[in-house]
Amino acid sequence: MTGRTAIVVKGYPRLSETFIAQEIRGLELRGMDIEIVSLRHPTEKHTHPVHAEIEAPVRYLPEYLYQEPRRVFAAWRAARKLAGYRAVRRTWLRDLWRDRTPNRIRRFGQALVLAHELPDDIDHIHVHFLHTPASVARYAAEMTGKRWTVSAHAKDIWTSPDWEIREKLDSCDWLVTCSAYARNHLAGLDSSGTRVELVYHGLDSSRFPAAPERRPMRDGRDPDDPLLILCVGRAVEKKGHDILLDALGRLPDDLNWRLWHIGGGELRDKLRAQAERLGIADRVEWFGALPQGEVIERYRNADLFTLASRVGDDGDRDGLPNVLMEAQSQALACVATDVSAIPELIVDGETGVLIPSEDSAALSAAIVDLAGNPERRLFLGRAGEARVRGTFSFTVGVDRLIEKFGVADDAAGRDAA
């Protein structure tokens, strides 16, 4: 690598994608010169402290083409002269034939703007998410002759058709993904057999305090001191919050508990209505999206963390949820489902508890068991903290990315000179 790198993201900044921002900052601190390219403008009122630390400039593409027609038209006129334009136009028309959606048209328009406006000193395009953002990055890279690479995560993998994944893998230089579960799936679609690699995001321990030395030994029997159950995750189908509410509705009447839910999402009203039907609405607090400092305080004050992840009807599913690593960093005992890559993090019975997905009875039983056994919660929490801080290292992941980007080689060359 001799120039700068453009990192393409779907939206920036986003609280739900803080792990991407932390990675960008980690790459900057190791010498990468970055420009962020975002397909969408921010929609949240909160940001994470890491967003203020990032030095990279941000370029926003037209979110909808009709909003900036002159910019799109100017990009099209200029891009038509690029050597790769005709080939990319044929690729896009073939993609459009197989995916006849307005979104596919918008991707091509955004790619024209990206290809036209990227500074000449950017020689590498790296993109987060294999679906829409990767289409924009691919079209732009092939038009301009730049290298491009991918970080794939969760929904982008499981809701993209195999034909599209195969063709993107054939086009990019390399792809990293954040779980062995996803790596194995993507490697099966890689004709080269060499482009896909597992690189865990890991937990940036420097951004999380040491776990509390002591935790309250609540067991839900004190009417004035309820067991505090925490769930962090957007209100979307794959998070299984409806399963969690069903499980809570099954808890015995003499167990005093409260649920804290943190996260936005389109299903929040539906979930509130479900809690009302189950007669537990007065025990559930819906906080919406919160800054990470406040989320960390909830991890530290809760007694139990739950996440009922499932495979959605559209195939979408979690990868390795960052919230589980965050909760375990604070020695908070976790109950989660055995979906996707979660068993790569949680060893059932040793560093947490795993249950089958879609099984509210099993989840309820696990909550009852851990509610009445504070000592076991403490053991699982401490074991989980040791595993996440030792095995899932943010530093190791960023160091490997630096190697793949070639920054370490460049630095060594400069030192030798």
In 10 A of CB 197, how many CB atoms? Answer: 15
pLDDT value for 2: 61
Show the low-confidence residues of the chain (pLDDT under 50): 411-417
List residues bridging with 335 in a β-sheet: 306, 353
144 and 113 within one domain: yes
**Residue 162: burial class (beta carbons within 10 Å; 0-12, 13-18, 19+):** exposed
Statement to judge: residues 44 and 82 lie in one domain? yes
Q: Is the same domain home to 86 and 233?
A: no
Same-domain pairing of 291 and 149: no
Same domain (yes/no): 378, 398: no
Is 231 found in the same domain as 174?
no
Both 180 and 240 in one domain: the answer is no
In tens, the pLDDT along 312-369 reads: 999 999 989 999 999 999 999 999 999 999 999 999 999 999 999 999 999 999 999 9
Determine the pLDDT at residue 411. 46
SS3 198: strand
Q: Which spans in 83-176 are helix H?
A: 85-98, 102-117, 132-144, 155-158, 162-171
* Whole-number pLDDT of residue 49: 87
Do 300 and 173 sit in the same domain of this protein? no
Q: Which domain holds residue 62?
A: 4-202+393-416
The pLDDT of residue 206: 85
* 153 & 272 share domain: no
CB 310 within 8 A of CB 337: yes
Per-residue pLDDT at 408: 60
Work out the angle at residue 239's Cα, subtended by the Cα atoms of residues 318 and 216, and round it to the nearest 5 degrees.
Answer: 105
CATH code for position 362: 3.40.50.2000
Whether residue 300 is found in the same domain as residue 197: no
Tally of CB atoms within 10 A around 297: 12
CA distance 111 to 50: 28
Kindly report, residue by residue over 183-193, the tens digit of the pLDDT. 999 999 999 99
d(CA 77, CA 116): 9
> Is residue 185 domain-shared with residue 245, that is, in the same domain?
no
User: Which residues are CB-neighbours of 127 under 8 A, at least 6 positions away?
Assistant: 7, 8, 9, 133, 134, 136, 137, 148, 149, 150, 151
What is the tally of structural domains in the chain? 2
pLDDT at 45: 79
